[in-house]
Amino acid sequence: MGDVYPFPGASSPQIGFTRAELGRIIDLYGRMVAAGLWKDYAVEFGRDHAAFWAFRRTAERPEYKIEKRPSLRHKQGMWALVGESGAVLKRGHELGPLLAPLERRLLKIVNE
């Protein structure tokens, strides 16, 4: 693997997702696309947060936003699940429990 160097002139490093975090989010996104629930996504990396938006359709507001704010890791938890209206639906210290409500939408009851 190569070394990562900061962009020259950048005053502070940007926040991003680790490979494992992004892999978990993209895995959920792929399953939601396969189920026909999501169609598009966007990713933002800023100085104080990183965000992943999931859209039902390209031209709409995002249905969900998964946000990482490391400055809140010792308070409410650095992860937040934000709904379409902008309300925080769930907040936590770990990504797995935060994604649980979204993964529950994929469960189907199977009768024998």
Is residue 49 packed enough to be buried (19+ CB in 10 Å), middle (13-18) or exposed (0-12)?
A: middle
Is position 43 within any domain?
yes
Is position 92 within any domain?
yes
What is this structure's pTM?
Answer: 0.79
Q: How many domains would you assign to the chain?
A: 1
> Do the beta carbons of residue 79 and residue 93 sit within 8 Å?
yes
What is the per-residue burial (b if ≥16 Cβ within 10 Å, else e) of 69-93? beebeeeebbbbbbeeeeeeebbbe
Is position 93 within any domain?
yes
Whether the pLDDT of residue 58 is over 90: the answer is no
Is position 57 within any domain?
yes
Selected residue with higher pLDDT from 90 and 12: 90
Take residue 15 and report the two structure tokens written for it.
């926040």
Q: In which domain, by residue range, is 46 found?
A: 37-104
Whether the pLDDT of residue 29 is over 80: the answer is yes
Is position 69 within any domain?
yes
**Once rounded to an integer, what is the mean pLDDT over residues 1-7?**
66
pLDDT the model gives residue 4: 67
Is position 5 within any domain?
no
Is position 110 within any domain?
no
Is position 15 within any domain?
no
